[in-house]
Structures are given as C-alpha cells and as structure tokens.
Amino acid sequence: MTIVHTPVMKDEVLSFLKPLGPDPVMIDCTTGEGGHSAAFLERYGDLTVIGLDRDKDIQTKAVERLSVFGGRFKPVNCWFDEYFETAEAESADMILFDLGISVFHYVESERGFSFRSDEKLDMRLDKDQKLSAWTVVNKYGEKEIADVIYHYAEERYSRRIARAITEARTQGPIDTAGQLAAIIEAAVPPTYRHGRIHPATRTFQALRIEVNKELDRISPALAGALRTLKPGGRIAVITFHSLEDRIVKWFFKERGTGDGAVLRILTKHPVVACPEECESNPPSRSAKLRVVEKLGEENGHDD
C-alpha cells in the first residue's frame, strides 16, 4: 500500500486535541488515508477513533493502514454532516475536520480532480451520486456555470470561462479534465494565463465544491459536532481556502462570544504551518487551523 497524502499540521493538531479521561473517543470527520488518525492512535493507547469518509476507495486505504490498531479504529462510510444528525450527544472527547481534498484524489483516484490530467470529468467523492463535474460542465446553463465558478472560487473571469465552455460543448461533450483545462486556458487573457497559478485552478475548485456540496455541509456538521462533543472537549478545523475558513470563523465567533457563549475560541488567529512544513508539504501552505473548546461544568484541560 502506498500512502501519498501527508497530514497537515499534525503536531499542532496533536497539541490542541487531548483526551478528557480514560477510554476517550475521537471523531476524525475526514479520515482520508488515515494520517491524523494514525498519529492519535499511536499517542493514546486507550483511544478509539471513529473515522468518517464518504469516499469508499480512500477509506479502504485507511482501514488497511490502521488495521494494526485493531478495533480502536472504527470506519464509517458517510458524509460528516449526515453522521452528526444521529450521533450520540456528548459522546466524543475531540473532533477533527481536515476539509482539504486529499492528494490521493489528484494522483490516484482517476476522477478528473486535476487539470493536469486527461481523466474523465467526475470529481465525485461519493461515486453513487448522480451529479458529477461532467454534468455541471455539459448540462448546466451558461449563467449557472458562471455563478458556480464565481461564488465557489471568486474567479474574476467566470463569465468568460462559462461562455467558452458552453460554446465548446456545441461541438461535442467536454469529457475530460484535460479538455476543460485547455478551454479555460484559451478563454482567459494572456497575462492571467501565465500568472502565479494555472488559470484552471479556481474553476476546478468551484466544480469540486458544487459536485460534493462541500460548503453547504460545514455549518450543519459543526453544529452537530458541538452537540456530540463532551463539555471540555475540543473541535479542530483545518481549512484550505477563504470560503471554507470564513464559514468556520463566523460559526465559532457567533457561538463563542456574548452571554450565551457555548464555546471558547482557543485560536484568536488561525494557526498556520511552519516554514519547514510549507517547504516539505506544499498543501500546507494554504492551510489554517482553528480550535474551540466546548464550555461546561467539566473541563479536562489545564491549558
């Protein structure tokens, strides 16, 4: 088994999330290949990790990797927001969300997540659902495509890109990530085409978010996680772009201030990866970590 994803800010997450007592329970809401879960299971010998992931393929890798921990790792194949709809109240010591897409999806999944590939346009984390990137690109109207690209990626050339997509598909369906990337590249101005990032980066991000409804899941999941957390327990969230971070920031702020506060914000400013990690693990460069603690009579932390 080859592991291609390195967990972001592993040491920082370990320093913030700590068990409240014996036989603790942690919920890893985005298990991926199991990097964060492995670190916690190694550190705490009596810990049980409930590992959530909607993608069956990547979860299979996590199950194999974490099999050495026996029954202390319990995989659940589901979206994290759906899990918390029925989770037992005050049953978890610590909850982790790593909202980034795994490197696995870019290099191994063969679902067209990367604009550098010529894989079929798909981008589904749940391969059983109907909506895919192919559907968005080939079936949505021009305005719908432009809105998706603008709202989910803040892409300044969203209208121009949407027009180019709808014109190109009149000649036949846009089937692959490579085809789409070429259309986008030709649609934007030369200065943008040769800028700091590939001109298709934001559009591909927007399509992935639309297909998997990523932003829509965050607030309901955080509300459910807060209900599931024990008093004194902590939630850590790692985000990778401003749209995700904005949702998390305001959710925590609304519930962490005023007379009715139900949580304590432990990171007044988001924690970012150290220069050494940014150099060795490029995805960490855009990562932000926010951590909160649930208020209550019991508090298992001294710091």
Domains of the chain in sequence order: 10-104+216-294 (3.40.50.150), 106-212 (1.10.150.170)
In sequence order, the 6+-apart residues with CB closer than 8 A to the CB of 165 are 137, 142, 145, 174, 180, 183, 184
**Dmax of the chain from CA atoms?**
65
Distance CA 94, CA 27 (A): 7
Contact yes or no for 269/291 (Cβ under 8 A): no
Can you list the residues of the chain whose pLDDT is less than 50? Answer: 298-300, 302
Q: Does residue 117 contact residue 297 with C-beta atoms inside 8 Å?
A: no
pLDDT at residue 108 in the model: 63
Which tokens hold the place of 94?
A: 């610590």
The rounded distance, in Å, linking the Cα atoms of 192 and 157 is: 10
